[in-house]
Amino acid sequence: MNISRQVNLQPFNSLGIEVYADYFSQINNLQDLAAARCFCQQHGLPWLLIGGGSNLVLTDDFAGLVMLMAWQGRQLVTCAELHFPTQSAPHIGYWQVAAGENWDDFVAFSIEQQYFGLQNLSLIPGTVGAAPIQNIGAYGADIAQVLQEVQVYDFANDQVFYLTAADCQLAYRDSVFKRRTDWIVTQVTFALSCVPQVNVGYGDIAKHLQQVIKQAPDTASPQQVREAVIAIRQSKLPNPDDIPNVGSFFKNPIVTATQYRQLLQEWPQLVAYPQADGAYKLAAGWLIDQLGWKGHRANAVGVHENQALVLIREPHGTAGGKEIMQLAEAIKANVQQVFAVDLQVEPRVVGAQGKI
């Protein structure tokens, strides 16, 4: 494992924030992780693992070791080769994918190989390793529907173990990895269908497909669904290469049925989605938009003009993570004051010693 000193992290986070890591290394295998662990222990250093850097706000230079997950590899395995063997299903293929693989590249690859189930998750930024951590989801699909098992490295104890999908405790934008921060995802296995299947229940997908293929949306191919999702995402979310951002900055808040009804009386156009337990998930972007934040600019940061959930950094400005978080806190306080709703920040916020 090669370790570099004083590395600029600007290329490794989608906000393009210029902060420096005291030490930096790439992780290509388990041996690199074990070596990194020894290095941190010997020097008493904090550590930070990053993948695509698309869910990360860096507020300071990092006074420790930053590890870039660069582990590559994809392979189709049999039921017997799984760590938790399961009954063979003729229409299911199991793909083991290394954590450093680009997520959207793997989605495209899976469709090319005639394995389906990921097309609604197209163009989500980041790496495969981040998928179960975030329980990524979009357009009526999420990782929980196709996750088979996960290989994990315990950075605290130098141990490798496996988790089933149930062990990952997946929930809305949540998983066990948010609480067990020493657990590093190193490999993810997906159960994908060899039978073409499409999920077009999400309204935007159906509408787009009707306009493009000129026939019933449920007759679309998985590739056509992927293309629809890409087109929709590109129309709604700015490309970080052009406008630095981390995508949706806030989680959609969940409130009780009582609180939902109270809000609805004052805000009849309130956008909300009923949950299985009787609660309601509110559209955070709608709440922010009602308060006039869309298009706001100050101190070289702002809110995207087309999407109130996306906080941006001016591409050539000098603003950093602190300015982004000051804006986020102002929005949170405004939403709390007006709606009595607590917004939670979606990306990881990391300071000099680690997660804030």
| Residue 248 is among the residues annotated as catalytic for this protein | yes
Pair (164, 113) in one structural domain? yes
Pair (64, 140) in one structural domain? no
Residue where a domain terminates, one of 45, 69, 93 = 69
pLDDT digits (tens, 9 = 90+) for 246-284: 999 999 999 999 999 999 999 999 999 999 999 999 999
Within a domain: residue 23? yes
At 80, which CATH number?
Answer: 3.30.465.10
Pair (79, 57) in one structural domain? no
Pair (46, 80) in one structural domain? no
Residue where a domain terminates, one of 69, 94, 116 = 69
Pair (187, 89) in one structural domain? yes
pTM: 0.93
Pair (118, 182) in one structural domain? yes
| Residue 112 is among the residues annotated as catalytic for this protein | no
**Distance from C-alpha of 93 to C-alpha of 250, rounded to nearest angstrom:** 35
CA distances, 328 to each of 316, 317, 356 (Å) = 20, 18, 14
Tell me what the mean pLDDT of segment 279-297 comes to: 97
Within a domain: residue 216? no
What is the reported pLDDT for 260?
Answer: 97
What is the reported pLDDT for 63?
Answer: 97
pLDDT digits (tens, 9 = 90+) for 99-157: 999 999 999 999 999 999 999 999 999 999 999 999 999 998 999 999 999 999 999 99
Pair (24, 81) in one structural domain? no
At 25, which CATH number?
Answer: 3.30.43.10
Within a domain: residue 38? yes
Within a domain: residue 83? yes
Pair (178, 88) in one structural domain? yes
Pair (174, 96) in one structural domain? yes
* Selected catalytic residue, list 25, 54, 122, 248: 248
pLDDT higher than 80, residue 288: yes
Pair (189, 256) in one structural domain? no
Three-state SS string over the chain comes to CCCEEEEECHHHCCCCCCCEEEEEEEECCHHHHHHHHHHHHHHCCCEEEECCCCCEEECCCEEEEEEEECCCCEEEECHHHCCCCCCCCCCEEEEEEECCCEHHHHHHHHHHCCCECCHHHCCCCCECCHHHHHCCEECCEEHHHCEEEEEEEECCCCEEEEEECHHHCCECCECHHHCCCCEEEEEEEEEEECCCCCCCCCHHHHHHHHHHHCCCHHHCCHHHHHHHHHHHHHHHCCCCCCCCEEEECECCCEECHHHHHHHHHHCCCCCEEECCCCCEEECHHHHHHHCCCCCCEECCEEECCCCCCEEEECCCCCCCHHHHHHHHHHHHHHHHHHHCCCCCECCEEECCCCEC
| Residue 173 is among the residues annotated as catalytic for this protein | yes
Within a domain: residue 229? no
Residue where a domain terminates, one of 15, 36, 69 = 69
Percent above pLDDT 70 for the chain: 100
Within a domain: residue 292? yes
What is the reported pLDDT for 173?
Answer: 87
The domain of 166 spans 74-193
* Selected catalytic residue, list 122, 323, 346, 348: 346
At 280, which CATH number?
Answer: 3.90.78.10
Q: How many domains does the chain have?
A: 3
* Selected catalytic residue, list 173, 193, 221, 314: 173
Contact 47, 3 (CB under 8 A): no
Pair (118, 176) in one structural domain? yes
Would you tell me how many other CB atoms lie within 10 Å of the CB of residue 198? 20
Pair (83, 147) in one structural domain? yes
